[in-house]
Structure 1
Amino acid sequence: MGRNALMDIKRSLDEHIGQKIMLKANGGRRKTVEREGVLEETYPSVFIVKLDEETNSFERVSYSYADILTETVELTVCQDEDNQIRISYVKQ
């Protein structure tokens, strides 16, 4: 698992830069934060989401690939109304 798993997640996200995403993040104290935005950029250890300005007080947020690996963050790419792809790590 380890580094290869993180790189697999990054490569999956690289294919969806510029697309609309929905994310659910663990907000602590049993809270789940749901946000919508656009996958703006991927970097070696984090990815950046530009949030929908109408519903969020922050303009951008960043998460690590480890957040997806540990399921702290659930990320779904919304290609259109009927086509959604959940980004996750599946151990092979």
Structure 2
Amino acid sequence: MGRNALSEIKCTLDGYIGYKIRLKANSGRRKTIERTGILEETYPSVFIVKLDEDQHAFKRVSYSYADILTESVELTILNNDNELVPVKYVKETQ
């Protein structure tokens, strides 16, 4: 039995807590918001990003894993090797 897509996205993000990320969120009607921050916490339904304080009016934002699945939010993680790692759900083919 295959794992749930949302839990797979959560498990992927669990490994990147504390890493710097860049997110691009679709806010409707051709509006796209780009933010940078630190992946602070993951919960069963949402994840929290602590934003860079000098660039944004808000301190934290939260998004659901379904936002990544539906591609309304795009996450890119800057790992320890300074590589950009996109986070998205890729359906396995058998």
TM-score bracket, shorter-length normalisation:
over 0.9
Question: Gaps (5+ residues) in structure 2?
Answer: none
Fraction of identical pairs, as percent: 66
Per the alignment, residue 14 of structure 1 pairs with 14
Per the alignment, residue 86 of structure 2 pairs with 86
Give 1:27 deviation, angstroms. Answer: 1.5
Between Structure 1 and Structure 2, whose CA radius of gyration is higher? 2
Give 1:29 deviation, angstroms. Answer: 1.4
Count of residue pairs brought into register by the alignment: 90
Residues 20-39 of structure 1 correspond to what in structure 2 (within 5 A)? 20-39=20-39
Question: Gaps (5+ residues) in structure 1?
Answer: none
Distance 2:89 2:54 in 1: 31
Q: TM-score, normalised by structure 1?
A: 0.93
Distance 2:51 2:59 in 1: 6
Give 1:60 deviation, angstroms. Answer: 0.1
Moved beyond 6 Å, runs of 4+:
none
Q: Are residue 54 (structure 1) and residue 54 (structure 2) matched?
A: yes
Q: Deviations over 1:8-48 (max 9, x none)?
A: 00000000000000000002211110000000000000000
Distance 1:30 1:81 in 2: 33
Q: TM-score, normalised by structure 2?
A: 0.91
